[in-house]
Amino acid sequence: MVSKEVFVKNPTGLHARPATLLVKKASSFKSDVSVEYNGKKANVKSLIGVLSLGVTKGANIVVFANGEDEELAVEEVSKLIATLEE
């Protein structure tokens, strides 16, 4: 398992459009990808799961991945979160 802490800069946090982009990116990997925020963890391949976390701008979240392409999954998902800006 690989993990990385990421700072959310997006003004709306991980809601609607940003969450949809995140789910699409995570779904391209074979590994299980999840995000932890405020003690809650959600599967990043689930739009409802990501939205249920209520991640806001300025949050520090942790991205986890477990599987055959876990390192690439964490790197790509983290990079997307860090660069999302509406």
Look at residue 84 in the predicted model and tell me its pLDDT: 87
User: How many angstroms separate the CA atoms of 25 and 38, rounded?
Assistant: 23
Considering the entire predicted model, what is its pTM? 0.93
User: How many angstroms separate the CA atoms of 66 and 6, rounded?
Assistant: 17
Instruction: Per-residue pLDDT tens, the chain, 86 aa: give them.
Output: 999 999 999 999 999 999 999 999 999 999 999 999 999 999 999 999 999 999 999 999 999 999 999 999 999 999 999 998 75
User: How many angstroms separate the CA atoms of 52 and 41, rounded?
Assistant: 10
60 closest CA partner among 39, 75, 30, 85:
39
Residues with active-site annotation: 15
What's the number of domains the chain is made of? 1
Task: Residue 7: give the domain boundaries.
Answer: 2-83
User: How many angstroms separate the CA atoms of 39 and 30, rounded?
Assistant: 25
Domain holding 50: CATH number?
A: 3.30.1340.10
User: How many angstroms separate the CA atoms of 54 and 43, rounded?
Assistant: 14
